[in-house]
A and B are shown apart, each in its own frame.
Chain A
């Protein structure tokens, strides 16, 4: 790769393309797995925001020093969406329908709901795509990347 090709262009801002939504595995992997970090790096460089829902933190954090890496990423202003009754009510039927074919958790359904509500598009990073893919199947604005 030539140096000229790699020159930074600090004045150029990428257009907002969409939002990367992280579930607990995605969040943990992005802070400890080279593949996941590289995928996230590429998406952010392309202008994608990063977000998650608050209940993901219940699964991703342990309350001890092992949280440092995840906290470092969260502190870099990952947008953490609170879950209100409206979001929970939207997630409930999505999960109920998906339970016919898979076994998504409530948090999976909330992550998927955030992605579905995201304009113009969302990519969910997860190490366990099966359950989430069942929920978001048929949603043209949502893709899933296994990390």
Chain B
């Protein structure tokens, strides 16, 4: 990231306590940068999710495959079953493909 990027001024409505916390973290002049970084990260995350969701919709995992993936992730990071269930795309909510 970086280089010559066109920027625009805009106004955002932010809860005061959040703005105050951002000023503590980044300083009064650094709040814009902090907001941009958070937005950039979220946009990137959603683009990646869109790509993966399209891929998983085209080739839906079996329940068994989802279970293996869940266990692999839960083995290395704190991730509750409820969080995993919520994280899965809607396209996987239907009947899963049966194992071959």
A→B interface (CB under 8 Å): 1, 3, 5-6, 8, 13-14, 16-18, 30-31, 34-35, 37-47, 49-50, 69, 72-73, 76-79, 121, 123, 143, 145-147
Contact = CB atoms under 8 A, between A and B. Distances in A.
Contacts of B89: 41
Contacts, number: 106
B48 A50 contact: yes
A131 to B, nearest CB: 18
B50 A35 contact: no
A42 B44 CA distance: 15
Contacts of A143: 76-77
Contacts of A8: 90
Nearest to B52: A41
A38 B65 contact: yes
B85 interface: yes
Given A34-B61, A37-B55, A73-B51, A45 B44 contact: no
Contacts of B43: 77
A77 B39 CA distance: 13
Contact of A34 (B65, B77, B82, B86): B65
